[in-house]
Structure 1
Amino acid sequence: MNLKWMTGFILALCVQLVQGLSVHFKIPKPIYVALGRELVLDASIEKTTEEKIFMVTWERISDKGARRLATYPGKTQDPKISMEREGSTLRIAGVQESDFGRYTITVTNQNGIQTSDEKDVGKHEKPPEASVVLLCDVSREEAQWDSPVFTWLVDGVELTNQTANMSDGGSKLHLQGMKGNNYTCISNSSLGTSVSHFIIPDSTEGPDGCPSCPIRTVIVSLVIVLAVIGLFLFLRRNRLLSYTPPRGRNNNNLSS
């Protein structure tokens, strides 16, 4: 009995190796998604021309246990879950706490041979911080044996890794949290030294360093002018409505 089982297992394994059915996620590492966002799990299914995909299933294992989410061909019971590309792509709209866990895609061919892959999906707590970057690009028309060394100055003061956020060998300077107007990049290599300047004007700032002060001043001034004009028109209208000509003058005009 054991020999028969082993023979069948070896034959099935050989058939699988010959047919080459496989599935794997395009992003090998665990992925993270925030609550309320959309989750997309994209897998790649490889097979030979003779093979046919009989079924694709998606399952999730979380703290609440295991659950089958979708089966292709077929329809999903949850309206926020959908499949694309013959079941190889799973979409979940409006991610909730229960959507975090380990996802498994299982592919079955016409011979009943299965292959699967897993993907961990975690919760992302804090949105990523956006940053504006200054790039010091150096043209390299001729070959050189070394790489350029970059130095950044802000208002004449040299930056270091402790005082600024630089990446890509110092060629990129991230401006998040930076204060200054005159940015200078110095590139030094065996081909020579080049200097580039970038100036950020502060014309939008007020005398006290408030970026929105000029706009705020214009708006307040405009509101005051409109208020004065409105008050003037209101008083003039009330004066005209309450005005009555003198009776004596009218009587004299009639008698004459």
Structure 2
Amino acid sequence: MDLHYFLCWKVTPLLLLMPCGLQCMAVHITNEEPVHVIPGSNLVLKARIEQGSLEEVSMVTWEREPETGVSPVRVTLATCSGGRLKCAGTKQNIHVNMEQQETTLQINGYTRAESGVYAVTVTDHSGAKTTAHCIVREYEAVHHVSVSINVSHSSLVCGEAWGTDPHFSWFHERVAISSSVGTVSKDGTTLSVAMTPICGHFTCMVSNKLGYSSATYTAVPCETEGRGTTAAVVACLILLLLFGGALTFLLWRRQRNNNRGERLQEHLDDTV
């Protein structure tokens, strides 16, 4: 017998006796991790099952455990089992289903207590198990926005405490930042100021799905063109008033001297 066929006949039975054979079953949660959920909304997790031609799913189990802790307790949320994989959740607000090679877990009215590490375990007909994990956290509002200045780099830095998916926007005197004022970094946290000197009000607004919060850095007042024009007009008016006052005084004094001269002439005529 040819050596190649001899080896195939010897190796094939060994592979069939292995729990997974050459095509082990795999499961992947398709949600981008970590998953952030707004309290009161619905949490939906989807997992795709990859199986070979020899594998058959006999059970799917969804579980949850705390993300941190010394000895976290795992809680079963839902299972799919039986000949046609009948699915059921352990609570009224928990729903699970199986469609072809995909399983979906949905929890209605999500609360903070339901944050943690979610696990989906797929068991095949031979009892072999494979598990995928996903971290789920509460979607939190923006908190404690602050703006600080880095004098040496002529930049302003915007900070935010712990809000989920924060988006940063900058304004100077309540107007969006222009190239003449400065440039904003890609992540939006830093404003490199181009104007010299740094003056006026710089506001950083941080927002997400739950709202926004802002903070303002106040520098010295800016000498705007309008203010300069106003100051020049005021100065001109003051000069005109002073000039007019001086001219009026001179005319009054001249008129007074003329009147005194006329009275003196009349007095001399009377005396003669």
The normalised TM-score by structure 2 is 0.43
The normalised TM-score by structure 1 is 0.45
Larger Rg, first or second structure (1 or 2): 2
